[in-house]
A = this chain, B = another copy of it.
Amino acid sequence: MGTTETTGVERRWSRRKEARPAEIVAAALECFAERGFAGTTLDTVAARAGVTKGTLYLYFPNKEELFKAVVRESLLPHLEGVLGELSAVPDDPAERIRRLFGFFADRMLDSPLSVIPKLIVAEAGNFPEIARFYLAEVVSRGRGFLAGAIRQGIERGQFRPIDPEQAAYVLLSPMLLAVLWQRSLGPFDDRPFDGKALIRTHLDVFFRGIALEPQPPDREPRPS
């Protein structure tokens, strides 16, 4: 099924113009995620991509542009996915929020993409362009989606009145923690970390916390 016949012989030399950029980007994403921009050498990237250093320069003019391409091109195809996912979402605000978190827990948390927030946090100061890109394409959209859902819930009398923007940050923060934890301190901690469970607990607490009515609906109001 491959483009070239899979012989047992390792070829030192092959032409795969189509596949190369994506392979390089994938390799670079891992490297940058592990050691950061400045800490990554192009030797490492090239080795991981299975090419030589010179080949990198066939596709990217320099290390900086490679880095930007990595962030952009890793993100872009997934943004489509998320947007599609969320547009086909029910009308109920709480349900929409649950849907986003479900998507995050199922499709982001364990994917190679989950390294990107760490990269952004670490390199935003050195790459303003990337910072702004991520802000616009990811953070603003997520924030907008969540704040919109909360606002709607408040208008419909489902949530008590709180600042939707603040609530959006509150909602986002455990996702950030989950994703950063996995890629930084998590591996050094002896306690297991369950991101999905964290998300569940968080949503449970959050929805109770913004509910209009006394929460447990199965509980009888106390007779006076």
Q: Which residues of A contact B (CB under 8 A)?
A: 34-39, 118, 120-126, 128, 131-132, 134-135, 139, 162-163, 165-167, 169-170, 172-174, 176-177, 180, 183-185, 187-189, 191, 197-198, 201-202, 204-211, 213-216, 219, 221-224
Q: Report the separation of the CA atoms of residues A210 and B204 in the bound assembly, to the nearest whole angstrom.
A: 9
Within 8 Å CB of A211, what residues of B?
208, 215
Distance in angstroms from A51 CB to nearest chain B CB is 19
Distance in angstroms from A50 CB to nearest chain B CB is 21
Q: Report the separation of the CA atoms of residues A37 and B146 in the bound assembly, to the nearest whole angstrom.
A: 35
Looking across the interface, which residue of chain B has its beta carbon closest to that of A208?
B209
Query: Which A-B residue pairs are the 5 nearest by beta carbons?
Result: A214-B214, A209-B209, A205-B209, A122-B122, A38-B38
Q: Which of B162, B185, B187, B188 touches A201 (beta carbons < 8 Å)?
A: B162
Q: Report the separation of the CA atoms of residues A207 and B208 in the bound assembly, to the nearest whole angstrom.
A: 10
Distance in angstroms from A168 CB to nearest chain B CB is 10
Looking across the interface, which residue of chain B has its beta carbon closest to that of A220?
B224
Q: Is the CB of B39 within 8 A of A184?
A: no
Q: Report the separation of the CA atoms of residues A119 and B208 in the bound assembly, to the nearest whole angstrom.
A: 34
Distance in angstroms from A115 CB to nearest chain B CB is 10
Known: A34-B125, A221-B224. 14 other contacts (CB 8 A): A39-B39, A122-B122, A131-B184, A131-B188, A135-B185, A135-B188, A162-B201, A163-B197, A170-B174, A173-B176, A176-B177, A205-B209, A215-B215, A221-B222
Q: Report the separation of the CA atoms of residues A167 and B206 in the bound assembly, to the nearest whole angstrom.
A: 11
Q: Report the separation of the CA atoms of residues A76 and B96 in the bound assembly, to the nearest whole angstrom.
A: 44
Looking across the interface, which residue of chain B has its beta carbon closest to that of A177?
B173
Within 8 Å CB of A162, what residues of B?
201, 204-205
Distance in angstroms from A150 CB to nearest chain B CB is 11
